[in-house]
Amino acid sequence: MSASESPRVGYVVKRYPRYSETFIVNELIAHERAGLTLEIFALRPSNDTHFQDMIARVRAPTNYLLLPAEGLTADTLTADALRAASFWEVLEKASDVLPGLWKALEAARGEEVRDVCQAALLAREARLKGIRHLHAHFASSATTVARLAARFARLPYSFTAHAKDLFHESVRPDDLRRKVSDAAAVVTVSDYNLQHLRKAFGAAAGHVQRIYNGLDLGRFPYESPEDRPPRIVAVGRLIEKKGFADLIDACAILARGGGEFTCQIIGAGPLAAALRRQAEDLGLQGCVELLGPRPQGDVARCVQSAAVFVGLPTVLAEAMALGTPCVSTNVTGIPELVRDGETGLTVPQHDAAALAGAVERLLVNRALRVEIANRARRLIDADFDIDRNTARLRAIFEKVHESGVSDRAAIG
């Protein structure tokens, strides 16, 4: 199917833009480069203070699903406030272009009122803008709203599941099963996630496919790490699950052993002050530096100037593409990317001593750095090319469009 015949797709996200979600922006840009027409629908405005420069390359307009009362936000919305905000007027207005809306509301039984409200707004906008398919990122609130909007507007929907949206303790298995079952297609970003969904939901997850988050490889030229200075770089949101406290502890172990190195941590988040205090308490002021958030181009330059990258999947692939050897933990889907001793080194989670040992191996062994970096780039070229991976996603959209289905649940 040519680009001109492809369905017009609405991307549904919780907030847009977000500094940490470059993988979504990469995906949007690649789709547009291939000729796909997109609209972005965000449940809430961004609450970030820094943004990646590449967001300016996205041509798709962003539509915020604003709730019907001045000053009312989805974060603070209650049932009483929603009634005061004339929720029924929203439904009446939506029903003008959605003749089956009232009957379809049965699908919203048990859902949060704010999700139903935003789904009605999304369904109306999708119908008016000629959207033929809805695709959400993360299996949480964005997919909740996309699922209901798809039912209201008699459209197909799909979603990409990532990590927290599958494994967080707040995830309700019955809710996730319904989303998976009703979706015309489901994508997830690792084989680990794929196996989890199939084990949890059996045949209901038989249509789930794995597509890795891709990179625009032309923007990440490979450079050998052979002669780089003993610098460690880590990138990510400064939150507990990212493991930055473990990295600082590992740096303390390296320093006590007489190692000469510097460590740069790039990113923003609620733990910034605590991490700075930790580094100071350990006497690491001269070698550990928290740089705050940086534009993606600056991040790439910092990563490519380092001998070792320590981190989590979103940036691991970028570091591997740039030729920076990686150390990460051996949990969830990370070993699919960082294959221990082949494309990187892995260590147990929260084991600062093991992390220090792995980092030291790469800092002192040039030949090992080069060997690992070469194999890592070959893996990235094979599995993480954004153009190939988004082509697979567009093929899913097109197959759903050609089949003429809305979602996998029966619609009256």
Q: What is the pLDDT of residues 389-398, one digit of tens each?
A: 999 999 999 9
Q: Which residue has the tokens 């009634």?
A: 83
pLDDT tens profile 258-292: 999 999 999 999 999 999 999 999 999 999 999 99
Contacts of 365 (CB under 8 A, 6+ apart): none
pLDDT band for position 373 (cuts 50, 70, 90): very high
- The string of DSSP codes covering 64-126 is E---SSTT--TTT--HHHHHHTTHHHHHHHHHTT-TTHHHHGGGGTTS-HHHHHHHHHHHHHH
**What are the angstrom distances between the C-alpha of 178 and each of 65, 151, 327?**
23, 13, 37
CA-CA distance, 411 to 100, in Å (whole number)?
Answer: 10
Q: Could you tell me if 340 and 376 are in contact, meaning their C-beta atoms sit under 8 angstroms apart? A: no
Across 346-370, average pLDDT: 98
Q: What is the pLDDT of residue 253?
A: 99
Residue 88 has a pLDDT of: 83
**Domains in the chain, start-ordered, CATH in brackets?**
3-214+386-403 (3.40.50.2000), 217-383 (3.40.50.2000)
> Could you give the CA distance from residue 306 to residue 319 in angstroms, rounded to a whole number?
9
Of 185, 202, 190, nearest to 165 (Cα)?
190
Q: Residue range 112-131: average pLDDT?
A: 95
pLDDT tens digits, 182-193? 999 999 999 999
Nearest alpha-carbon partner for 328 in 342, 346, 343: 346
What is the average per-residue pLDDT within 177-181?
Answer: 98
Task: Answer whether 186's CB lies under 8 Å from 209's CB.
Answer: yes
